[in-house]
A and B are shown apart, each in its own frame.
Chain A
Amino acid sequence: MMKIAKYVAYDIIRNRFVLLYTLFLLIVTVSMYSLDSDAGKSTLSLLNIILLVVPLVSVIFTTMHFFNSYEFIELLLSQPVNREKVFISEFLSVALALSLAFIIGVALPTVLLANNAAAVYLIFSGVLLTFVFVSLASLASVLTRDKAKGIGIALLFWIYFTLIYDGLILYVIYSFSDYPLEKVTLLLSSLNPVDLARIVILLKLDISALMGYTGAFYQNFFGSSTGAIYAFLLLLAWIIIPLWVALRKFIRKDI
C-alpha cells in the first residue's frame, strides 16, 4: 500500500498547485507573525484562514486529483493489487502531501515564531482537518463519474461545514433561546469538524470570549483530558467514516 502512496505522494508534492498552496500558507503565516507583536493575536488571525482555506484547498485538490488520475487508477487496477489498496494509497498520498504542505507552510514558521500551546493545537487541528476534508472529498469523488459534479459535491461539503451548519446552529439557538442550550450547542457544534477544531483552539487562545457565560462550561469540558480525547476521536471519526463509505463505494464501482 505504502509503495503506491510513496510514488503518488512524491508526484503530488511536485504539483504546481500544491507548491503554490505551500507558498501561500508560508507567506500568510510569516506575515501574520511579523505584523503583530502579540503572538496570540496572530495565531487568532491565522485560525480564520486555516479554518477556511485548509478545508477548501483539501476538497478541491482531492477531487481534481482523483479525476485527473482516473486513467492511472485504471492502470493500477489492471495490476494484481486489490482496490482497497489502490484507494487507500490515493487517499494517503493526497492527505500526506497536503499535510506536508501545511506543516511546511504553517507549522514550521509557527513553531519558530510563536511557540505557545494554542499554536500546537492549531497545527494538530490543521493536519486533522486536512485529513477530514481529503476524506470527504474522496467520498465526493466516488459518488459520481463526472469531474465537475464531483468538485461540486466536494464544494458543497465545504460550504456546508464552514457556513451552513453554523447557520443552522444559530437558528436552533434562536428558536429555542428560552431553554438552557449549553449542552445541546456543545454537542451540535462538536459534530462539525470545523467547529470542533475552532472551539478547541479558541479555548487555548481566545479564552476570554468563551470563558464568559456559557464558556466556562466548554472550558471545563474541553480543558479536561476527557474532552481532548473526545475531540480527537470525533475528528478521527470524521476521517474514517467518510473514507470507509467511499471505500465501500469504490470497491463496487465500475471504473
Chain B
Amino acid sequence: MKSFDWARNEVLVFGVIVAFCVLAAVSDPNFLSIPTLIDLMRNGIVLGILAVAAMVVLVSGGIDVSFTAVAAFAMYTTTVILRDVAPDLPWPVAFAVATAIGAALGAINGVLIAVFGLPTLIVTLGTLSVFRGFLLTFVGTVQISNLPSGMRDFSRLMMIRGTNSDGSFYSLPWAFAFLVALVILTWFILNRTMLGRSIYAIGGAPESARRIGIDVTKTQMFIYIYVGALAGLAGIIHASTARIANPFDLVGLELSVIAAVVLGGARLTGGVGTLTGTLLGVALIVLVRNSLIVIGIPSTWQSVTIGALILLGTGLPAWQAKRAEARAA
C-alpha cells in the first residue's frame, strides 16, 4: 500500500484552511454556519471555473493569462448581441453563444501556440491585451444593467435559499452546478481519456511525447479551445449572477486564479496538478478574500496574506524537495 504523502500541497492547503476556519470561529462564533459556507461557495463559482481552466494549461506545460480577457469579451459581447438581436432567447442560448465566442478566442491562442510554436506566456500576454482592447474599442465600454431576459431568468434560479437569524437572505444559485459539472467533466477528460493523459505527458516531457506519437499540435489546440470555452462560460455566469455586464470586470483576476492553482500544487513547469488541489486553492483564496476581516486582519492586508500564502505554499514543498535532493547526492 502506498503511504500517505504528508508533504503534498493539497494537505498543506487543507491544513491552512482548517487553521483559518478555527481562527475565524474563535473570533466570531457565527463564522461556522451554513450561510458562511454558502457564501463561500457562491463566491467560488467564477474563480473555480477559471481555475480549472488555468490548471489544464499549467498541466500541459503552458501558462495562459488571457482567459480573463476571453471571459470578459465573451460575456459582454454575448450580452450585447442578445440585447440588440434577440432579447427574448432563453438562457441556454446565451450560454452557448458565450461558450462559442470563448472557444473561438481560445482557438486564436491555440493557433499561435500549437501551430506557430510561440511561447505560451508571450502569446497570452499579447492576446490578453488585444482581446481586451478590441472589446473596449469596438464592442463597448458602457455597463449593461438591464440584462436580456434569459440571463435575468438564470440569475433567479436558486439551488438553496434561506434566511439568516438577523433576517437577511442567503442563497446558492444554480450556477454552482455548472462548476460541479465542469469539474467532473474536466476530471474525466484529464484522468479517464487518452487525450487527458497526453496533456499530462506533454507537460512532463514534450519531446518524449512526440517520440511516442502524441500529436502535440492537436492536443494543444484542444487545450486552448477548451480553456477559452470554460472562460466564456465563466464570463456569462459572472454577468448573469451579478446581474450586470461590465466590460471592465474580470480582467485583473488572472493572477489570483493562477495563484489558486499553484497553491493547489500544480507545477509552473508543467506535468503536475490535480483538481482537488486546485479547488482547495480556490477555497483558500476565496476564504482569505471574504473572511480576513473576521479574524481581525484589515482587508488592505488581503494581497499581502495571499502573497505570503503563495510563498509558503510553493516555497515549502520546493524547499523540502531541495533538501531531499541534497541528501540523495
Task: Tell whether A pairs with B.
Answer: no
Interface residues of A (CB under 8 A from B): none
